């Protein structure tokens, strides 16, 4: 249960470290598995817990975040938990207002329109003051997990956050945000740098609070081509990995494995493999063998079953998982979906996916 805030010290001993071992490239008896958006609306208990509360109010309640993070682990033998939160808490920490509009999704009341609007943002963010509620949720959840599995912390990457801050919400073309990259490259870099600095402190704070791995979501990488990615996304992705690791060392905190998930960035796999992350997450549009060939043996891969495969009958899910494991190989690999779970998915099919990964990977490892 998620009660009683304890200090970040004296965490329960970890019982299942398969996910962390795979992330570090060590041998595992079975392939670990978790799902992006595993704490989510496809679970009736999630909808029940969330029903009475505004979305971002839920994010600010350590107790509710803890409860939502633990729900999928009560149902499925997942190998990792990921803290329930949202990538848009970072723009909020910079002073922007974001509301969750039913049927539309996250919406910024005043998106950035002109370069001058950058002056409205907080130039120095005290992450403990602005995002301490996430740190409390992590500490509370880490205790409440009782060492069952490791806890993953996360953040959005600078370009993805910038695109939301300018578009004001979701967008099919990202034309407003991309126009900044072409029209205002210097101002774009200023904004991306500001975001990167906050993200670095935020991720270090998550480890201090008890996160045992970190994932960086570059969800909007697919809107950039190779050139724009090279100029406006990759340098910050690299910098975050490097700076987080050096700060963790400086502060005598555990140097935890880091995952980069850049959706639809198949053009950048080689660069991502060398960006300083232990794990590269893949979306479902990438062939496992090709990813392995481009990324090499020194980095763990994570992914990449098409989330829509979970609409298939359970036997079919088992076949698809077996094929995926044969393509990736069972080692230096973390099974996941190629994007998050959808709200109308059947929890039993999620269970079938998790169990198939464990069963087939054990079988392949034995033989």
3-class secondary structure, 31: coil
- Read out DSSP for 145-177? TTTSS-EEEEEE-HHHHHHHHHHSS--SS-HHH
Active site residues: 37, 41, 50, 86, 164
- Residue in the structure block whose two tokens are 């598995």: 33
**Integer distance in angstroms from the first to the last C-alpha of the chain?**
40
Q: What are the structure tokens assigned to 113, written together? A: 């329109």
Among the listed residues 127, 283, 117, the one whose alpha carbon sits nearest the alpha carbon of residue 208: 127
Half-sphere exposure of 361 (CA within 13 A, CB side): 27
Residue 327 burial (10 A CB sphere; 0-12, 13-18, 19+) = middle
Cβ proximity of 338 and 285 under 8 Å: yes
> Residue 214's beta-bridge partner residues?
153, 258
> What Å distances lie between residue 153 and 20, 80, 217, 313, 356, CA to CA?
13, 11, 11, 32, 26
> Parallel, antiparallel, or unpaired: how do β-strands 300-305 and 333-337 relate?
parallel
Cβ proximity of 178 and 159 under 8 Å: no
The angle subtended at Cα 357 by Cα 351 and Cα 363, nearest 5°, is 130
């Amino acid at each position: 249960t998620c009660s009683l805030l304890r200090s970040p010290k004296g965490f329960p001993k970890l019982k299942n470290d398969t996910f962390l071992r795979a992330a570090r490239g060590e041998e595992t008896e079975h392939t670990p598995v978790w799902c992006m958006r595993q704490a989510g609306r496809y679970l009736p208990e999630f909808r029940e817990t969330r029903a009475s509360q505004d979305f971002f109010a839920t994010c600010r309640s350590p107790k509710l975040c803890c409860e939502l993070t633990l729900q999928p682990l009560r149902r499925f033998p997942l190998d990792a938990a990921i803290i329930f939160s949202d990538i848009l808490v970072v723009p909020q920490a910079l002073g922007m207002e974001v509301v969750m509009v039913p049927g539309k999704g996250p919406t910024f009341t005043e998106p950035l329109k002109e370069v001058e609007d950058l002056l409205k943002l907080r130039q120095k963010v005290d992450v403990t003051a602005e995002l301490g509620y996430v740190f409390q949720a992590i500490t509370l959840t880490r205790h409440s997990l009782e060492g069952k599995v490791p806890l993953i912390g996360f953040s959005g990457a600078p370009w993805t956050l910038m695109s939301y801050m300018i578009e004001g919400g979701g967008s099919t073309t990202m034309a407003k945000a991309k126009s900044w990259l072409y029209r205002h490259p210097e101002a774009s870099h200023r904004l991306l740098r500001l975001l990167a600095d906050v993200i670095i402190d935020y991720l270090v704070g998550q480890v201090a609070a008890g996160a045992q791995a970190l994932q960086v979501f570059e969800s909007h990488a697919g809107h950039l081509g190779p050139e724009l990615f090279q100029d406006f996304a990759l340098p910050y992705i690299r910098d975050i990995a490097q700076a987080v690791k050096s700060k963790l060392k400086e502060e005598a905190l555990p140097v935890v494995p880091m995952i980069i998930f850049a959706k639809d960035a198949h053009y950048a796999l080689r660069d991502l493999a060398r960006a300083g992350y232990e794990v590269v997450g893949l979306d479902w549009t990438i062939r496992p063998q090709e990813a392995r060939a481009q990324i090499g043996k020194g980095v763990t891969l994570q992914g990449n079953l098409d989330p829509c495969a979970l609409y298939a009958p359970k036997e079919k899910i088992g076949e698809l998982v077996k094929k995926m494991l044969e393509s990736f190989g069972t080692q230096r690999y973390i099974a996941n979906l190629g994007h998050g779970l959808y709200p109308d998915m059947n929890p039993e099919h999620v269970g079938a996916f998790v169990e198939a990964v464990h069963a087939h990977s054990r079988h392949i490892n034995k033989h």
